[in-house]
Amino acid sequence: MNSEEIYSLLEPIIKNYLPEDVSPKQINRSSDLTRELNINSAHLVDIILDIEDVFNIEFKNEDMENLRNVNDAILLIQKKATI
Protein backbone atom coordinates (compact mmCIF):
# COMPACT_ATOMS: atom_id res chain seq x y z
CA MET A 1 0.00 0.00 0.00
CA ASN A 2 1.48 3.37 -0.94
CA SER A 3 1.38 6.37 1.31
CA GLU A 4 -1.49 8.08 -0.60
CA GLU A 5 -3.68 5.03 -0.15
CA ILE A 6 -2.79 4.89 3.54
CA TYR A 7 -3.47 8.60 3.95
CA SER A 8 -6.90 8.31 2.34
CA LEU A 9 -7.89 5.63 4.87
CA LEU A 10 -6.20 7.35 7.80
CA GLU A 11 -7.67 10.82 7.37
CA PRO A 12 -11.30 9.83 8.08
CA ILE A 13 -10.18 7.97 11.22
CA ILE A 14 -8.43 11.06 12.55
CA LYS A 15 -11.33 13.32 11.52
CA ASN A 16 -13.61 11.24 13.70
CA TYR A 17 -11.73 12.20 16.86
CA LEU A 18 -10.97 15.86 16.16
CA PRO A 19 -12.13 18.26 18.86
CA GLU A 20 -14.79 20.72 17.72
CA ASP A 21 -12.44 23.67 17.62
CA VAL A 22 -10.13 22.02 15.09
CA SER A 23 -11.14 22.03 11.43
CA PRO A 24 -10.62 18.85 9.38
CA LYS A 25 -8.82 21.13 6.90
CA GLN A 26 -5.98 21.34 9.40
CA ILE A 27 -5.15 17.68 8.89
CA ASN A 28 -2.07 17.22 6.75
CA ARG A 29 0.94 14.95 6.79
CA SER A 30 2.97 17.08 9.14
CA SER A 31 0.19 17.79 11.66
CA ASP A 32 1.21 16.88 15.18
CA LEU A 33 -1.67 14.78 16.48
CA THR A 34 -1.69 15.99 20.06
CA ARG A 35 -0.12 19.44 19.85
CA GLU A 36 -1.65 20.76 16.63
CA LEU A 37 -4.79 18.70 16.15
CA ASN A 38 -5.46 18.79 19.91
CA ILE A 39 -6.30 15.10 20.14
CA ASN A 40 -6.23 13.95 23.76
CA SER A 41 -4.41 10.85 24.92
CA ALA A 42 -7.59 8.77 25.24
CA HIS A 43 -8.63 9.59 21.68
CA LEU A 44 -5.13 8.91 20.45
CA VAL A 45 -5.61 5.35 21.73
CA ASP A 46 -8.98 5.19 19.91
CA ILE A 47 -7.25 6.26 16.70
CA ILE A 48 -4.59 3.56 17.13
CA LEU A 49 -7.23 0.89 17.74
CA ASP A 50 -9.19 2.00 14.65
CA ILE A 51 -5.99 1.94 12.58
CA GLU A 52 -5.34 -1.61 13.80
CA ASP A 53 -8.80 -2.67 12.62
CA VAL A 54 -8.71 -0.90 9.28
CA PHE A 55 -5.18 -2.00 8.34
CA ASN A 56 -5.24 -5.34 10.16
CA ILE A 57 -2.01 -4.64 12.04
CA GLU A 58 -0.98 -4.51 15.69
CA PHE A 59 0.76 -1.70 17.54
CA LYS A 60 3.11 -2.20 20.46
CA ASN A 61 3.78 0.18 23.34
CA GLU A 62 7.11 1.26 21.87
CA ASP A 63 5.42 2.22 18.59
CA MET A 64 3.55 4.93 20.46
CA GLU A 65 6.83 6.64 21.34
CA ASN A 66 7.56 7.25 17.67
CA LEU A 67 4.10 8.50 16.87
CA ARG A 68 3.87 12.28 16.79
CA ASN A 69 2.40 13.35 13.48
CA VAL A 70 0.33 11.96 10.61
CA ASN A 71 3.44 11.06 8.63
CA ASP A 72 4.80 8.99 11.55
CA ALA A 73 1.52 7.07 11.51
CA ILE A 74 1.77 6.47 7.76
CA LEU A 75 5.35 5.20 8.06
CA LEU A 76 4.42 2.89 10.95
CA ILE A 77 1.44 1.50 9.05
CA GLN A 78 3.56 1.00 5.95
CA LYS A 79 6.21 -0.82 7.96
CA LYS A 80 3.72 -3.09 9.72
CA ALA A 81 1.48 -3.78 6.75
CA THR A 82 4.38 -5.22 4.77
CA ILE A 83 5.61 -7.61 7.47
Partner 1 sequence: MKHNYILNSLPYSEPFLFVDEILFVSEDAMKGAYTFEPDAYFYKGHFKGNPITPGVILTECMAQIGLVCFGIYLLNGETISEKSTFALSSTEIDFYLPVYPGEKVFVVSEKIYFRFQKLKCKVKMLNAKEEVVAKGTISGMIFKRE
Q: What is the contact surface with partner 1 in residues (CB under 8 A)?
A: 40-45, 48-49, 59, 61, 64
The nearest distance, CB 3 to partner 1, in angstroms, is 24
Residue number, 1 or 45, with CB nearest to partner 1: 45
Q: Which is nearer to partner 1, 5 or 19 (CB)?
A: 19
Distance between CA atoms of residues 61 and 65, nearest Å:
7
Smallest gap from residue 41 Cβ to partner 1 (A):
5
Residues 6 or more apart from 61 whose CB is under 8 A from it?
none
Helices 70-82 and 3-16, axial angle in degrees (round to 10): 120
